[in-house]
Amino acid sequence: MLTTSSIIDNLNHSEGLEYKKLCKSLKITKKSDKDKLNIALLALEKLEIINKNADNEYFCTKDSNHIVAKIRCSSKGYCFAVRGKNKEDIYIKENLLNYAWNGDKVLVRIIKEGYRRRSPEGIVDCILERSNHILLSKVEIINNYVYAIPIDDRILSKIKLPNEDKKYNYKPENKNIVKVEIDRFPIGQEEGLGHVVQELQLNNNEELDTDFVLSKSNIVKLGNDNIIESKNVEKRKRVDLSDKNSYLFKSWDSDNSPMLPMIQIDIKNDRSTKLWIHTNNVAERVELNSKKSLEIFFNSLESLPLLNNWQNYLSEGIRNYSKFKLGEKNEAISLCLNLNSDNEITEWSFHLTLVKCSLIVCSDHTDALLSRKSKTRITSRVLKPIKEHIKDLDKILEISNSLRQKQLSEGKVEIPSPLNNIESLNEFYIHNPAENSKGYFEPLIKEDCQTYLSPILHEANIIWFKHSNQYDLKSAGYSLKGLDYVNTNEIIKFSEFLDNNIELNEDGNFLFNQLIKICEGDDRKRILHKLLINEFKENKVNLINKNEDNDESDKLFTSPWTIPGYDFTNLMNQYSIFNMIINGKKSKKNKTDEINILESKSLEIVNWDIFNSSISKNLEILFNKFVIDKINEYKCKVIQYKSNMIGLKKVRKAEKLLGNIYHGFILSVQSYGFFVELSELNVEGLVHVSTLNNDWYEYRSRQNLLVGRKSKKSYKVGDEIEVKIIKVDILKYQIDLELS
């Protein structure tokens, strides 16, 4: 798709491109597309964003005063251009948005510098990329014209529809919203145009929930035309480990849930261990060194749970070829870890392997293994059929626990995941061992065997960061930042959950780890865990480069690669590992002594570029800021989608319980009311201040509470109250409560 962003991106990656080469780079052949390109080039020249040299080549203006940013609007009409970490957001007045919508990528020019606590102000000069091409809307008739009114009140435009779409006029009793495809975005004095592509009658119709939430989160529902097919794998020399036992730990119930790696263990007489991590061989089966492949992947860069199944970003063909099947030989890309008797990693090496799945370990197995009183007697009906594998499984669980304890001693923390009592959401709440964007771990629990994969895979991902960084290879990953930014003092101040006597350290502070340990047990402390989770920021994917001069160069990173069936970040890093194995140079030029660059022992010896210019160029197509930005954009959509789906299902549940009274705890207090968690239902709702009719309540922000002027009655976080469900709003995922 031709966008202003794609034009600028192509010009940024060259010293200059003449018109024909630019068309070729953008894959433009049709006259209509060339006409659009000409209009865009002319506009960009007039804005002095691009220019032409004496050879008629286009190039980006280096001293342009424009800033690349994303528009973020609130429901109250305040709009800001967000321009990245540690940089101040730019306030944009509505009349200076130039029809940019929430989520759009734009070029902004600052027209008024910020001062004191006021943000700088700016104007949108150019919309680089639109985030919304499909709008969920209500159809309304205004002055005899048919319009789509977006249900997202952060989008400050209405779209004109053809007259025949008036049949979709919104009826509150049906909740019949529509999906509108944009034919022309609003520009100048011209209104935006669109047409209805689908009607969703949501009232008492849960079958449409998935379609509704995907559309609202701006996620494409994949079809056969936007997936990559599998390519043939060349025959290569592989380490044959198919006669060894390999174990697949799997809690997800869906047949099409993301593919997971296998674990293999080899226990030595001296109590040292070889631990193998076998990952699904996706990188060999996918064409990744072409822009055409990337354009298809940009439609979906991550697998996501639907209701009772998954939408995978990889095609069914690739998954069928790559997934580990019980009792069958499979090709894998593997990491071998050498551990000493204390389960500490001493060495590692990467390999192409041939493996066979001996057992699919489910949560019943880990529950039985960790619940038995004696390791010598096997009486459980669950364990008897797998008696020959128990020694291996015990050791794997032991190693997983040891690695987790090491990780916690290094400053990481564990917070339990929220409870779930809505069956259709089970896949959302089962532990995802590919999740790296949280700043904390979920605890190891015997009822979910996938939790025991996480400590092992976390170490494997850190190892690839160390290995690639030492060889000066780019990788994609997450910063393992500390907890300095988490404000535990604020949580303690606003919370009544803590009964314990809290001891401060010599600096007068209360450590986050102390708070985590205190918060175990009853409902109140479980709710406090929710407050703690809200304090963690989502960790974005970074482009990690040893030579890059940035403020995070001294931090430790994790470069995930072990679950390539889950997201594109894992696949990119696995593709780099695969290239290191088959294309990496094992010695300096004109030297005959080869070094095994796949082993950790080589890291201090190798001082040459392990890839030639051709391989490096192929990897540059993947490992660049443009691709990383696309990954982070999609991850934001998936995070929003998961939250929205959980919210909708909770509202659906509350919808059937209108008028019922429940006990709950105040979860947060705002100027307009307070949110209450109904512990029995595990849902949250709002008690609006307007329903508190017995007094006039004012909000005290410093104490984070509402106080009645006459009665002095107060409502604060942690208070136990009794409330009634009075209203639900499916479109806004909102539950309204009142005091009973």
Give the lowest-confidence range in 391-400, 451-460, 478-487: 478-487
Question: Using 50, 70 and 90 to split pLDDT, how confident is the model at 168?
Answer: very high
Distance CA 48, CA 71 (A): 21
Architecture of domain 67-129: Beta Barrel (2.40)
Architecture of domain 657-739: Beta Barrel (2.40)
Q: How confident is the model over 227-237, as pLDDT tens digits? A: 677 787 788 89
Q: Which two tokens mark 380? A: 């459980």
CA distances, 320 to each of 101, 297, 325 (Å): 40, 18, 9
Per-residue model confidence (pLDDT) at position 222: 76
Question: Using 50, 70 and 90 to split pLDDT, how confident is the model at 486?
Answer: low
Percent of the chain with pLDDT over 90: 54
pLDDT winner (highest mean) among 8-22, 211-225, 390-404, 531-545: 390-404
Which contacts of 364-371 are long-range, i.e. CB under 8 A and separated by 24 or more positions? 365/393, 365/449, 366/249, 366/397, 366/446, 366/447, 366/448, 366/449, 366/452, 367/446, 367/447, 369/393, 369/394, 369/397, 369/446, 370/397, 370/446, 371/446
Q: Is pLDDT at 393 greater than 90 in this prediction? A: yes
Average pLDDT rounded to a whole number, residues 310-329: 93
Q: Is pLDDT at 171 greater than 90 in this prediction? A: yes
Residue ranges per structural domain of the chain: 4-60, 67-129, 134-201, 239-481+542-638, 488-535, 657-739
Distance CA 26, CA 32 (A): 14
Question: Using 50, 70 and 90 to split pLDDT, how confident is the model at 702?
Answer: confident
Helix (H, G, I), strand (E, B) or coil at 271: coil
Residue pair 71/81 in contact (Cβ under 8 Å)? The answer is yes
Q: How confident is the model over 634-670, as pLDDT tens digits? A: 999 999 999 999 999 999 999 999 999 999 888 888 8
Return the closest-CA partner of residue 649 out of 713, 732, 733: 733
Write out the H or E segment, with its range, that includes residue 40.
helix 31-46
Q: Is pLDDT at 515 greater than 70 in this prediction? A: no
Per-residue model confidence (pLDDT) at position 550: 47
Judged on CB neighbours under 10 Å (0-12, 13-18, 19+), 318 is buried
Residue 325 has φ and ψ, to the nearest 5°, of -110, 140
Residues 6+ apart with CB under 8 A from 229: 315, 317, 318
Q: Is pLDDT at 679 greater than 90 in this prediction? A: no
Residue identified by tokens 């935006």 is 192
Mean pLDDT of the chain: 87
Amino acid letter, residue 597: I
Per-residue model confidence (pLDDT) at position 518: 61
The number of residues in the chain equals: 740
| 67-129 and 657-739: identical CATH topology | yes
Per-residue model confidence (pLDDT) at position 494: 52
**Which tops the pLDDT comparison, 479 or 13?**
479
Which CATH code fits 134-201?
2.40.50.700
Q: How confident is the model over 719-729, as pLDDT tens digits? A: 889 999 999 99
Per-residue model confidence (pLDDT) at position 681: 84
Average pLDDT rounded to a whole number, residues 381-404: 94
Q: How confident is the model over 334-344, as pLDDT tens digits? A: 999 999 999 99
Question: Using 50, 70 and 90 to split pLDDT, how confident is the model at 484?
Answer: low
Question: Using 50, 70 and 90 to split pLDDT, how confident is the model at 498?
Answer: low
Instruction: Give the pTM.
Output: 0.89
Give the lowest-confidence range in 361-370, 408-417, 544-553, 612-621: 544-553
Per-residue model confidence (pLDDT) at position 516: 61
Question: Using 50, 70 and 90 to split pLDDT, how confident is the model at 548?
Answer: low
Per-residue model confidence (pLDDT) at position 480: 81
Return the closest-CA partner of residue 284 out of 333, 320, 241, 237: 333
Per-residue model confidence (pLDDT) at position 475: 95
Q: How confident is the model over 525-546, as pLDDT tens digits? A: 677 777 777 777 788 999 998 7
